């Protein structure tokens, strides 16, 4: 009888914990939405490369405005679209990255190398009480996925996960000496906004040999909440027509990726990068179904699926 009672108590506590993770985690994720002044700072801390020196530099306190808008919400899912306001004095806006948060998500796309992602299915036990963040490019192409619980400790509320990812633009446009960024992302919610703190390892990955470490990096992306009026141009930018276009783009990615277990992306097709090709389709005078067909044909040029 004692053992049965103990099992019953533990079961109740487990359900309560999972329920709290679902509700409180969703509220924490909703706190990532709004208008923010954002600063981005990165510095290498250690390196095994004796031929190059990537020194830390002065903290960049020049902030850009970013609007994080929830485009999909439910009890177990929040999808946030980021819109970047360019500091050009004209209020120019670009569609930035997207993050999908899913509670107890078992199916995930994990990055391996060379613009390749593998479909992975985790057990229910592995994701119990956890939220998965999937980050997508400006084109809605995949980037990386991480899973963790939301934690309350030391007067902080945070989510912490480590995962492999392709190089960010700030890196692949300036260097070619490594090919995997192993990201440890810590998202810390604060009364003023949130901090995206990173401890990243820059990995050289080659077939048939163990990974080697090129360097380590620290990152601090501060998201300071500012008046919504600072993001007025971003709100005006995300029109009903634009939202409908990108909803179709996202649906096409989902549809095509669901038919394979491994995907590989080309950097360019016909001499054009994907975001330029998508911008061209979006700006054409076509009906929405015509644009959807054009995007589908376009993705087939850049995306290779295999089993």
Q: What is the pLDDT of residues 239-261, one digit of tens each?
A: 999 999 999 999 999 999 999 99
Task: Determine the pLDDT at residue 36.
Answer: 98
Average pLDDT of the segment spanning 295-303: 97
pLDDT for residue 163 is more than 50: yes
* One domain for residues 183 and 121: yes
163 and 293 both lie in a single domain: no
Mind listing the pLDDT tens digit for each residue in 56-114?
778 888 899 999 999 999 999 999 999 999 888 888 999 999 999 999 999 999 999 99
The C-alpha atoms of residue 32 and residue 5 are separated, in whole angstroms, by: 41
Does residue 234 belong to any structural domain of this protein?
Answer: no
* Statement to judge: residues 94 and 243 lie in one domain: no
Please report the pLDDT score of residue 109 as a whole number: 97
Residue that finishes a domain, picked among 204, 228, 252: 228
Average pLDDT, the chain: 92
Is the pLDDT assigned to residue 52 strictly greater than 90?
no
Phi/psi for 150 (5° steps) reads -85, 135
* 5 pLDDT more than 50: no
Residue 273, pLDDT > 80, answer: yes
Place of tokens 């990055």: 111
CB 131 within 8 A of CB 101: yes
Which of 228, 252, 278 corresponds to the end of one domain? 228
Task: Evaluate if residue 55 carries a pLDDT over 70.
Answer: no
pLDDT of residue 53: 67
- The residues, ordered by sequence, that sit 6+ positions from 147 with a Cβ below 8 Å of its Cβ are 105, 108, 122, 126, 127, 130, 131, 132, 133, 161
257 lies in some domain: yes
| Number of CB atoms found within 10 A of residue 83's CB | 21
Q: Which of 137, 96, 118, 111 is nearest to 234 (CA)?
A: 96
**Lowest-confidence segment of 41-55, 86-100, 151-165, 286-300 by average pLDDT:** 41-55
The domain tally of the chain equals 2
User: Which residues are CB-contacts of 133 (< 8 A; sequence separation ≥ 6)?
Assistant: 99, 100, 101, 145, 146, 147, 159, 161, 185, 187
Q: What is the pLDDT of residues 173-202, one digit of tens each?
A: 999 999 999 999 999 999 999 999 999 999
Residue 162 pLDDT exceeds 90:
yes
Please tell me whether residues 126 and 252 are part of one structural domain. Answer: no
Residue at 233 is within a domain: no
Structural domain for 52, as ranges = 2-228
pLDDT at 59: 84
Rounded Cα distance between 102 and 132, Å, is 5
Q: Is the pLDDT of residue 230 over 50?
A: yes
Say whether pLDDT at 4 is over 60.
no
Query: What is the reported pTM?
Result: 0.91
**pLDDT-based confidence at 15, cuts 50/70/90?**
very low
Q: Is the dihedral of CA 194, 105, 145, 101 positive or negative?
A: negative
Instruction: Report the candidate in 123, 150, 154 with the shortest Cα–Cα distance to residue 21.
Output: 150
Asked if residue 191 belongs to a domain, the reply is yes
- Do residues 224 and 243 share a domain? no
pLDDT over threshold 90, residue 54: no
Domain membership flag for residue 127: yes
> Is residue 117 a contact partner of residue 130, using CB atoms and an 8 Å limit?
no
To which residue do tokens 């394979």 refer?
260
Structure tokens at 8: 């019953």
Same domain, residue pair 297 and 197: no
- Do 157 and 293 reside in the same domain of the chain? no
Residue at which a domain ends, from 174, 200, 228: 228
Inform me whether the pLDDT recorded for 141 exceeds 70.
Answer: yes
- pLDDT, residue 60, reads 83
C-alpha–C-alpha distance, residues 304 and 275, integer Å: 17
Sign of CA dihedral 27, 32, 34, 36: positive
Burial class (CB in 10 A: 0-12, 13-18, 19+), 94: middle
> Mean of the pLDDT values across residues 225-248?
96
């Amino acid at each position: 009888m004692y053992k049965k009672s103990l099992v019953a108590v533990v079961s109740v506590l487990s359900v309560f914990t999972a329920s709290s993770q679902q509700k409180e985690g969703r509220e924490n994720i909703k706190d990532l939405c709004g208008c923010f002044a954002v600063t981005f700072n990165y510095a290498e801390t250690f390196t095994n490369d004796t031929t190059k020196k990537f020194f830390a530099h002065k903290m960049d306190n020049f902030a850009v405005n970013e609007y994080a808008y929830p485009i999909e919400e439910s009890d177990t899912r929040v999808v946030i679209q980021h819109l970047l306001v360019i500091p050009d004095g004209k209020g120019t806006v670009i569609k930035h990255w997207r993050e999908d948060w899913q509670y107890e998500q078992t199916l995930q796309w994990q990055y391996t190398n060379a613009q390749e992602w593998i479909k992975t299915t985790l057990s229910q036990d592995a994701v119990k009480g956890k939220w998965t963040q999937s980050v997508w490019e400006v084109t809605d192409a995949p980037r990386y996925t991480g899973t963790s619980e939301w934690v309350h400790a030391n007067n902080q509320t945070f989510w912490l996960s480590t995962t492999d990812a392709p190089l960010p633009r700030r890196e692949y446009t300036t260097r070619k000496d490594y090919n995997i960024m192993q990201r440890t992302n810590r998202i810390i919610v604060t009364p003023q906004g949130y901090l995206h703190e990173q401890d990243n390892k820059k990995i050289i990955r080659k077939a048939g040999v163990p990974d080697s470490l090129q360097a380590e990096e620290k990152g601090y992306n501060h998201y300071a909440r500012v008046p919504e009026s600072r993001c007025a141009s971003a709100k005006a930018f995300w029109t009903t027509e634009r939202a409908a276009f990108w909803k179709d783009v996202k649906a096409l990615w989902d549809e095509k990726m669901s038919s394979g277990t491994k995907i590989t992306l080309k950097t360019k097709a016909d001499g054009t990068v994907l975001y330029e090709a998508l911008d061209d389709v979006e700006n054409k005078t076509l009906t929405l179904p015509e644009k959807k067909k054009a995007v589908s044909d376009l993705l087939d040029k850049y995306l290779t699926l295999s089993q």
